[in-house]
A and B are shown apart, each in its own frame.
Chain A
Amino acid sequence: MDLDVAMRIASAGMKLQAARLRVVSENLANAESTAPTPGAEPYRRKILEVTARRDRETGATLATVRRYGIDRSELPLRHLPGHPAADAAGFVRFPNVNPLIELMDMREAQRSYEANLNAMQMARTMLQRTLDILR
């Protein structure tokens, strides 16, 4: 049954976007999470790695989370001599989270979620309308 499978694919897509929003809010919330001591690592931005997985039961290709990766890009430095994590020169390494990028990612997650939601609703409507012929 293709419409049933379509609903399952859309549901997997919605789950993926939910995971994406989870990562975005984690990044946004930890945008200022510095290390407790000078040598330690501050919070690093997380990245969602997406992969296509074949569902054995239905034969459909579902979008799923492969793993939660870490952004290895450079950490910005801020001059805060009084900070407990400041080094000898008074610089503190801050998380490499850019709120603007996170906001754009959030928007994208929202739109993609809505698209999947529409696909699911459409599959449901098509099934329902077909059944209505019998009535």
Chain B
Amino acid sequence: MKATLGQALAAYTAAFAHGRGDLAPAEPATAGGLSFGALVRQELASTKSALARGEGMAVAGLLGKASIQDVVEAVSFAELSLQKITAVRDRVIAAYQEILRMPI
């Protein structure tokens, strides 16, 4: 992937804003398929739906409408999705901080 870190960070914030429902600004697409921004946006959307599914299953399980196996599966997948997205976020922030520490 040939995206620069600035682009990546901008894409990440844009995707985050998109995830909150705001309109995402246009961003540069990288050569060769999916851009980092599109990837992050896609992952955020899937994490959001996984979390919603986990929450819905947990409630349905407490109400006795879903089986315990379904609840465990949905909640653990939601947990892993959240971990994935936070791990990527931590990585991006760490890279940004690394650049900030660079002597000019």
Interface, chain A (partner B; CB < 8 A): 4, 7-8, 10-12, 14-15, 18, 120, 124, 127-128, 131, 134-135
B34 vs chain A, min Cβ distance (A): 16
Interface, chain B (partner A; CB < 8 A): 67, 69-70, 72-73, 76-77, 80, 83-84, 87-88, 90-91
Q: Considering the complex of A and B, which 3 residue pairs feature the smallest CB-CB distances, nearest first?
A: A11-B73, A134-B87, A14-B69
**A11–B57 alpha-carbon span in the complex (Å):** 13
| CB < 8 Å neighbour of A11 from B70, B84, B87, B91 | B70
A121 vs chain B, min Cβ distance (A): 10
| CB < 8 Å neighbour of A135 from B67, B70, B76, B87 | B87
The CB with the most chain B CB atoms within 10 A, among A11, A18, A128, A131, is that of A11
**A11–B87 alpha-carbon span in the complex (Å):** 26
Known: A15-B67, A18-B67. A131 touches B84 (CB 8 A): yes
A128 touches B73 (CB 8 A): no
15 contacts between A and B (CB under 8 A): A7-B73, A7-B77, A8-B73, A10-B73, A11-B73, A12-B69, A18-B67, A120-B73, A124-B76, A124-B80, A131-B80, A131-B83, A131-B87, A134-B90, A134-B91
**A12–B73 alpha-carbon span in the complex (Å):** 10
**A14–B70 alpha-carbon span in the complex (Å):** 9
Using Cβ atoms and an 8 Å threshold, which residues of chain B touch A128? Answer: 80, 83
Using Cβ atoms and an 8 Å threshold, which residues of chain A touch B87? Answer: 131, 134-135
B44 vs chain A, min Cβ distance (A): 15
A15 touches B70 (CB 8 A): yes
A77 vs chain B, min Cβ distance (A): 40
B84 touches A4 (CB 8 A): no
Using Cβ atoms and an 8 Å threshold, which residues of chain B touch A12? Answer: 69
Known: A7-B76, A15-B67, A18-B67. 9 other contacts (CB 8 A): A11-B72, A12-B69, A14-B69, A15-B70, A18-B69, A124-B80, A128-B80, A131-B80, A135-B90
